[in-house]
Amino acid sequence: MGVETSCDETAVAMVEDGKKIISNIVASQIKVHQKYGGVVPEIASRQHMECIIPVIDKALSESGKKLSDLSGIAVTYGPGLVGSLLVGLSVAKAIAYAQNIPLIGVNHLEAHIYANFLEHKGIKTPLICLIVSGGHTSLVYIKDFRKYKLLGQTKDDAAGEVFDKIAKVLDLDYPGGPIIEQLAKEGNSSLIKFPRPLLNDGSYDFSFSGLKTAVIYYIKELKEKNKIIPVKDILSSFQQAVVDVLVEKTLRAALEFKTKQIVLAGGVAANNSLRKKIKEKASLLNIRVFYPSISLCTDNAAMVASAGYYKLKENKKSSLDLDVVSRLTLV
Amino acid sequence: MNFTIITKSPEETKKLGKEIGKLVKPGDLLAFYGELGAGKTCFIQGISEGLEVKDYVTSPSFTIINEYQGKIPLYHFDVFRVSNIEEIIELGYEEYFYGEGLTVIEWAEKIESLLPKDHLKIEIKFKTSYERKISFIPQGNKFNLFWEDLIRIENFRNRYLH
């Protein structure tokens, strides 16, 4: 069983042999909160507390298994919100203790990488992984399974965070990724030349704060002059700038480290413009690109269970005094 | 007294932050106001340099609070995503706000009722795409003399007062 409560989603999944998903429940997909009179609790940790048991029940019943069938329980212990992480970790510890099964603490970032192994056979090390989500933007060199080298990361905002913030400025829904992607499809991506920060600085670091400011200022100026705001063109040009930087740096890393494979992980890996562009460019270089299906890109517990399975195979169990770590890094 | 400084680039904003970071004392609280993209995180990155924090300060929008170790601890709050003040109460905010480090808060307007009486309000406004108007507005008495401390710094005088 995998348990994930690091941010907004309460998620529990049952996975067999690290690869076969038997059930995969994410609280925002089932209407657990209807039980509470339709009130959506705003406090993340309280929401997790209210959802976690019904979500576990649902994951068990959909899988046709019982708690006593579990061979281990994997749980995200960081990075994330402390209060949210604690809910999942406490429940996982209780189950591990009661069922006398191993507890496996899993790093959320590593779990995102493992989302790829749930669906794709034929992923071979060495490879380059781009982890890109609302909280993270990192380039990682994976020399061998579970051997990570951080090549670079964002120096300010994560890519997904910038999507959310631009969406907010334009009064669009949260999260910003899906809605921006949809509107951007009908826009002209080369109409506005937004900056591509750190594109040619030779490092593998990212910086999206300057791009964010450029987009916001562009909108602000049009507003002040009472001009029509070409939302779709702005979003399309903005998305293109983000994608260009992500693709360029990832491919450069693959070339430098001579890897023939790239994996994408995290919520922003669901962005079709990113998927398409990186695949196109990589194929010219004879590099294969893997990414999880959309539902496994965003936060879920199947990826946690999968990562936990492989850790357990290496006998990497956690003790029951495992604590949450808000700012856990991959390496 | 209130005072206002114009910075001409993100780099200048960061350098201003660095000078402020050298001046602050344990238990101080700086409350930042300014729209998205104004440069709040940039300013705070400068503060972290002034405090000799070794880690690179990134946006904490997703974790709400990041803690860093420098000459004194730096507690970096970003309450952008906070929709309910109870979320901050649950984080145990008092231990930070009234603690032994420097607390900096982005989007302070969202949790104004929790701010201590004494704090320094810092408002960042767009002037142009790169230029920013940064106003310092002491709340309570503690920061009344902050301006005088600031103009005693030579770097500061040379850069911002011509």
CATH of the domain at B130: 3.40.50.300
What is the token pair recorded at B71?
A: 């000459």
- Output the pLDDT for position A43: 61
Report the Cα–Cα distance between both ends of chain A, in Å, rounded.
25
Write the residue in B35, B56, B63 that is nearest to A81 by C-beta: B63
What is the token pair recorded at A91?
A: 């429940």
- Output the pLDDT for position B148: 85
- Asked whether the bond before A126 is cis by omega within 30 degrees of 0, the reply is yes
- Output the pLDDT for position A310: 94
Residue A118 pLDDT more than 90?
yes
Closest Cα of chain A to B89: distance in Å?
11
Alpha-carbon dihedral sign for residues B106, B108, B114, B116: positive
Residue A40 pLDDT more than 70?
no
Write the residue in B37, B42, B62 that is nearest to A216 by C-beta: B37
**Is B160 within the bounds of a domain?**
no
Answer yes or no: do A220 and B126 touch at CB < 8 A: yes
Q: What is the pTM of this model?
A: 0.87
Residues 92-111 of B with CB under 8 A from A: none
Full 3-state SS string of chain B? CCEEEEECCHHHHHHHHHHHHHHCCCCCEEEEECCCCCCHHHHHHHHHHHCCCCCCCCCCCCCCEEEEECCCEEEEEECCCCCCCHHHHHCCHHHHHCCCCEEEEECHHHHHHHCCCCEEEEEEEECCCCCEEEEEEEECCCCCCHHHHHHCCHHHHHHHCC
**Is B162 within the bounds of a domain?**
no
ipTM, 2 decimals?
0.79
- Output the pLDDT for position A30: 45
B61–A contact, CB cutoff 8 A: yes
Give the pLDDT confidence of A305-314 residue by residue, as tens digits: 999 999 999 9
Answer yes or no: do A327 and B41 touch at CB < 8 A: no
**Is B57 within the bounds of a domain?**
yes
> Domain containing B35: what range?
3-154
Predicted confidence band of residue A117 (pLDDT cuts 50, 70, 90):
very high
Q: Report how far residue A143's alpha carbon sits from residue A147's, in angstroms, rounded to the nearest whole number.
A: 6
Predicted confidence band of residue A39 (pLDDT cuts 50, 70, 90):
very low
Segment A22-43 shows an average pLDDT of 57
Residues contacting A276, CB < 8 A, separation 6+:
none
**Is B30 within the bounds of a domain?**
yes
Residues 20-59 of B with CB under 8 A from A: 35-39, 41-42, 45, 56, 58-59
A165–B contact, CB cutoff 8 A: yes
Q: Chain B residue closest to A215 (CA)?
A: B37
**Is B161 within the bounds of a domain?**
no
B68–A contact, CB cutoff 8 A: no
Give the pLDDT confidence of A127-173 residue by residue, as tens digits: 999 999 988 999 999 999 889 999 999 999 999 999 999 998 999 98
B11–A contact, CB cutoff 8 A: no
Closest Cα of chain A to B135: distance in Å?
19
Contact residues, chain B, for A327 at CB < 8 Å: 63, 66-67
Residue A106 pLDDT more than 80?
yes
The low-confidence residues of chain B, meaning pLDDT below 50, are: none
Closest Cα of chain B to A64: distance in Å?
35
Q: What is the largest CA-CA distance in chain A?
A: 67
Mean pLDDT (chain A, rounded): 92
Give the pLDDT confidence of A293-303 residue by residue, as tens digits: 999 999 999 99
Give the pLDDT confidence of A44-63 residue by residue, as tens digits: 778 889 899 999 999 999 99
Segment A266-284 shows an average pLDDT of 97
The proportion of chain A whose per-residue pLDDT surpasses 90, expressed as a percent, equals 82
Give the pLDDT confidence of A192-230 residue by residue, as tens digits: 999 998 888 899 999 999 999 999 999 999 999 999 999
The proportion of chain A whose per-residue pLDDT surpasses 70, expressed as a percent, equals 95
- Measure Cα distances from B2 to B30, B102, B120 in Å: 14, 21, 10
**Is B126 within the bounds of a domain?**
yes
Q: Chain B residue closest to A217 (CA)?
A: B129
- Output the pLDDT for position A330: 87
Our count of domains for chain B comes to 1
- Output the pLDDT for position A8: 80
Write the residue in A79, A83, A161 that is nearest to B61 by C-beta: A161
